[in-house]
Amino acid sequence: MTKTLEVKHVSVSIERSPDDVYHYVAKIETWPAWAHGLGKSVRKAGDGWIAEGPLGEVTIRFAEPNPYRVLDHDVTLPNGQTFHNSFRVIPNGAQTEAVFSVFRQPDVTDQAFREDWQAVEKDLRALKKILEAG
């Protein structure tokens, strides 16, 4: 049986419609502008994407476009290890909650886990700044 992992749900409110946020974030080409942990560049590769970043060359595969605004994606590291990332765009009145679930991997220290979710929070705040600037 697989061990249940600790999770931190990181959420940022964005003063834009859920559809605006979803359509922007669904374009992975926009990610280097705000998702700094992923990398500085992305390129299409088959049915996925390749990102060049701090972890080296990683492969990313996204959920198919959907009416529920689910942006889940799998990131495969150069060593072949794959991590599932849960990312949701949730309506909150006329605004949006961008929610990313950070799962603590086995053998990750408290400090490393905190740094991981704080990096995600920083990325989501960058996304908020871009989208609210228009």
Q: CATH no. for residue 92?
A: 3.30.530.20
Q: What is the pTM of this model?
A: 0.92
Instruction: Say if 62 falls within a structural domain.
Output: yes
Instruction: Say if 11 falls within a structural domain.
Output: yes
For 66-84, write each residue's pLDDT tens digit: 999 999 999 999 999 999 9
In this predicted structure, the answer to whether residue 21 has a pLDDT above a threshold of 90 is yes
Which 3 state secondary structure label does DSSP give 53?
strand
Taking alpha carbons only, the member of 79, 38, 96, 94 closest to residue 62 is: 38
What integer is the mean pLDDT of 56-63?
93
Instruction: Say if 49 falls within a structural domain.
Output: yes
Domain residues for 112?
7-133
Instruction: Say if 107 falls within a structural domain.
Output: yes
Q: How many domains does the chain have?
A: 1
Radius of gyration, CA atoms only, the chain: 15
Taking alpha carbons only, the member of 42, 21, 11 closest to residue 131 is: 21
Confidence band (pLDDT; 50, 70, 90) for 1?
Answer: low
Instruction: Say if 67 falls within a structural domain.
Output: yes
Mean pLDDT score of the chain, rounded to an integer? Answer: 94
Instruction: Say if 2 falls within a structural domain.
Output: no
At residue 37, the pLDDT reads 81
